[in-house]
Amino acid sequence: MSILSGKNVLLGITAGIAAYKTAALVRLFIKSGAQVKVVMTPASKDFITPLTLSTLSKNPVLSSFTNEDDTDAVWNNHVDLGLWADIFVIAPATANTMSKMANGSSDNLLLATYLSAKCPVYFAPAMDLDMYKHNSTKASFDKLQSFGNVMIPATSGELASGLVGEGRMAEPEDIITFLENDILGKLPLKGKKVLITAGPTYEAIDPVRFIGNHSSGKMGFEIAKASANLGAEVILITGPTHQKISHSLINVVPVTSAEDMYQQVHKYFDTVAIAILSAAVADFTPKEVSAKKIKKTSDTLKLELKRTKDILASIGETKKNQFLVGFALETHNELENAIGKLKKKNLNLIVLNSLQDKGAGFKGDTNKVTFIDNKSTVTEFQLKSKAEVAEDLLNEIVKQTHA
């Protein structure tokens, strides 16, 4: 999965011949899972039609402050557009538009949106080689970069004028790669490894039966996604679950039993900076596993169970600098019990779910949690989706580890 997945991408198109390549660029954004809106300068419509771009982006294309064809002219709000965007990519960026951007002009919707946007702005220049080399253009590049805008450099090659040199807009595939690398490089968990456990464990009774629990694995998978979205390399050790995930930064390690999970966690733990153990690990496992299917020869059946190893406690004992997060599911004396677990297992943070809260727990799509850290700071949250809870958790970890 691309780091652009789920992002709101605002594409600004200005009047250069390279505008024809933006059809491919929009398609690549959509393919990477982004939502795309397009804002054009009026003159750029001579190079590519809004219809092409609205069809590909699945959104209306905007180029003026009001919709001219509309008898009840509706105000196209550049402020809303700027706030909607997670990133604003101006490609192609002509010398004219860059000069206006550098000097605060706002005589078209694209420029007004640029001035309103609070998100990261990227610009991919495209022009003839002499224009590209001109000191005035260079001054625009410098000024825009001094504002924090990121330049996607033009490449050398044959230009529309027939001349060969620097000034060709980066190819759409290269713009995507540039954006992905730039976003990843700035993420707070870039280069950090995070180990996550998720799901239930199944403890075999015989070849066909097991003891399990109702954990869906959803919370752990959302935590994995949130970690990868911050640039972390994730090792997701998961018990049996229907959850699916595909992300270039997430390595899924499937396991079945508590013992398998213990072995895998210990295999990776020394290599990670952060470990988040959200799995609902069985506390007991059958003392003997029958090699053959148990037959119903009597009216009752006694199974003898033994304790499983506490994975979280075992890594809490040996941890060096790792930031360790555990979960606690409680029904009574919630805070007291969670703080007890945090201390006993040598954790940095514990996530408390109370079964008394509606919508919390391990089956549904929502959760209501409280974070408690090792300085006994308690932070309570409202009922949220598990994806939002995962984001809150990762934000807290980034804050606490000053990553």
Interface segment toward ligand CTP; rule CB under 6 A; list 19-27, 77-85, 105-113, 278-286: 278-286
Smaller CB distance to ligand CTP: residue 83 or 329?
329
Residue choice 329, 374, 381, 401 for contact with ligand CTP (CB under 6 A): 329
Q: Contact between 200 and ligand CTP (CB under 6 A)?
A: no
> Which residue intervals of 279-352 are DSSP H helices?
311-318, 334-344
In the complex, the smallest distance separating the C-beta of residue 276 from ligand CTP, rounded to whole angstroms, is 8
Asked if residue 98 lies in contact with residue 134, where contact means CB atoms within 8 angstroms, the answer is: no
- CA 71/CA 153 separation, integer angstroms: 42
> 173: how many CB neighbours lie within 10 A of its CB?
11
Residue choice 86, 310, 357, 388 for contact with ligand CTP (CB under 6 A): 310
Residue choice 312, 342, 349, 369 for contact with ligand CTP (CB under 6 A): 312
**Interface pattern 225-264 for ligand CTP (x via CB under 6 A):** ---------------------------------x------
Residue choice 326, 389, 390, 400 for contact with ligand CTP (CB under 6 A): 326
End-to-end, the C-alpha distance of the chain in Å comes to: 23
Smaller CB distance to ligand CTP: residue 15 or 277?
277
Among candidate residues 374, 369, 375, the one with its CA nearest the CA of residue 393? 369
Smaller CB distance to ligand CTP: residue 68 or 336?
336
Question: Residue 167: how many CA atoms within 13 Å on its side-chain side?
Answer: 22
Residue whose pair of structure tokens reads 């040199």 in the numeric block: 165
333 included as an active-site residue: no
In the complex, the smallest distance separating the C-beta of residue 311 from ligand CTP, rounded to whole angstroms, is 3
DSSP 378-402: EEE--SEEHHHHHHHHHHHHHHHHT
Residue choice 144, 189, 277, 403 for contact with ligand CTP (CB under 6 A): 277
Residue choice 108, 308, 367, 400 for contact with ligand CTP (CB under 6 A): 308
Q: Which residues contact 314 (CB under 8 A, 6 or more apart)?
A: 262, 266
Smaller CB distance to ligand CTP: residue 36 or 273?
273
Q: Contact between 198 and ligand CTP (CB under 6 A)?
A: no
Structure tokens at 46: 């001579």
Asked if residue 289 lies in contact with residue 205, where contact means CB atoms within 8 angstroms, the answer is: yes
Interface of this chain with ligand CTP, residues 35 to 64, rule: CB under 6 A:
none
Q: Contact between 327 and ligand CTP (CB under 6 A)?
A: yes
Smaller CB distance to ligand CTP: residue 281 or 387?
281
- CA 241/CA 231 separation, integer angstroms: 25
Question: Count of residues binding ligand CTP (CB under 6 A)?
Answer: 16
Q: Contact between 341 and ligand CTP (CB under 6 A)?
A: yes
Identified catalytic residue from 8, 67, 96, 213: 213
Give, in order, the Cα–Cα distances in Å from 95 to each of 64, 99, 113, 347: 20, 6, 18, 55
- CA 90/CA 124 separation, integer angstroms: 6
Residues belonging to the active site: 213
Binding positions for ligand CTP, rule: CB under 6 A: 197, 258, 277-279, 281, 283, 308, 310-312, 326-329, 341
